[in-house]
A = this chain, B = another copy of it.
Amino acid sequence: MPDLPGLPRPLPESRAIDPFIVMDVMGEANAREAAGEDIIHMEVGQPATPARRAARERARTALERERLGYTEALGMPALRERIALYMRERYGVAVGPERVVVTAGSSAGFVLAFLAVFEPGAGLGLPSPGYPCYRQIVKALGLSPRLIETSAEGRWMPTAADVDRLAAANAAGLLLASPNNPTGTMALGGRLGELAAACRRQGLWLISDEIYHGLEYDAPADTALNHSDAAIVVNSFSKYFSMTGWRIGWLVVPEALVRPIERLAQNLYISPPAISQVAALGAFDGLEELEAIKAGYARNRTMLLEELPRAGLDAILPADGAFYLYADVSRFTDDSEAFAKTMLRESGVAVTPGIDFDSARGRRYVRFCYSGAEDAMREAARRIGAWLKPK
């Protein structure tokens, strides 16, 4: 980087990380909206709904009655217990509350887990396409991302052979997201167990990003904890629980990691947001509201899997979960960023170019997020159809 005027010394070259492009797209979409344009948001991966009522009620009561100071670094004991219970209810897995770490979103969970288990410079296997922040967090923390090219034919999931290759290349862990972002695909048919076994055999950490659990449209997702005691599970209230802006999530870690992670959390975060922890306690009170939201996503998914192919976007896997479709747009472009920009400008629909998730092959893909209101999603499909027609 050039020596910038007025700075005491040049900025570090080694730290230059890529932007998280979806956030830039959101910025432009918001600016257009503020300027009066009618924009449909399919770019940012967040629910259109607020946190459920019981969560907001708890937050309101806390606002009136509690000081909302720093909490324990690992999170409020009552929330850790409630999460442990949820793990049992949902997956039938027995996890003691002492193994649950409440975090400021799964974003904080990754930082804590990576710092706790990896030496500086250690290699971490990251399936590609994948959530872009993994790569950047890994780089910012001085670790080494080892991209694993997955394929549409393999439903964008890594294999046990990939784990063997990681080990041969001296990597120290594998990060798996199932359902995956941006593809929505899952490790089904025994794949999760195979990956866990391969990691165990090869002595690799398995870090399982389960943030899209709860949002599956066919087979329910299983937790890595049912396949490995040593797995590190990363989860969050952001997606299924519809609480993105609250910045609250959790880890389940092997007991030996609790104290190292506590020390890191004390020093790097002090504690997760208190009001969000209180709200999260309410997020579990009966899940019907969340299931109703999910049913809306399911209808959006069905509708888009019909309408987008009609508009010419016929190379889309019928994703198993999350609220994403990853569409091959190579019929139209080999520059997905320009394609997305033009789509936003000309049709008012914001989507994310694939390069955010896969810097090379992503030039031929865009990601649609269908967490919006059903009307808006239907209108988006109509606009995209009209926009693509003359091409």
- A interface residues with partner B (beta carbon < 8 Å): 4-9, 11-20, 23, 26-27, 30, 44, 46-51, 56, 59-60, 63-64, 66-73, 104-105, 107-108, 111, 115-120, 122, 132-133, 136-137, 140-142, 172, 199-200, 203-206, 229-230, 243-247, 254, 256-257, 260, 262-264, 266-276
Contact = CB atoms under 8 A, between A and B. Distances in A.
A245 B273 contact: yes
Contacts of A256: 4-7, 11
A119 B12 contact: yes
B205 A264 contact: no
B275 A59 contact: yes
A140 B267 contact: yes
Contacts of A132: 267
A16 B260 contact: yes
A323 to B, nearest CB: 14
A68 B50 contact: yes
A235 B60 CA distance: 27
A125 to B, nearest CB: 13
24 contacts: A8-B205, A8-B206, A11-B116, A11-B256, A11-B257, A17-B263, A18-B263, A19-B266, A20-B266, A26-B72, A30-B72, A50-B68, A56-B64, A104-B104, A105-B270, A111-B268, A120-B142, A133-B266, A133-B270, A142-B142, A247-B269, A247-B273, A273-B273, A275-B275
Q: Which of A60, A230, A246, A275 has the most CB of B within 10 A?
A: A275
Contacts of A50: 66-68
Given A8-B200, A116-B15, A266-B19, A245 B260 contact: no
Contacts of A13: 119
Contacts of A137: 267-268
Nearest to A68: B245
A115 B14 CA distance: 10
A22 to B, nearest CB: 9
Contacts of A247: 104, 247, 269-273
B230 A7 contact: yes
B8 A204 contact: yes
Given A48-B67, A273-B276, A118 B12 contact: yes
Contacts of A203: 8-9
Closest 4 CB pairs of A and B: A245-B274, A136-B267, A20-B266, A4-B256
Contacts of A263: 17-20, 136
A229 B105 CA distance: 34
Nearest to A204: B8
A328 B358 CA distance: 58
A275 B246 contact: yes
Contacts of A63: 56, 59-60, 63
Contact of A11 (B5, B30, B73, B117): B117
A337 to B, nearest CB: 16
A86 to B, nearest CB: 22
Of A30, A48, A70, which is in contact with the most chain B CB atoms at under 10 Å from its CB? A70
Contacts of A64: 56
Contacts of A107: 268-270
A108 to B, nearest CB: 8
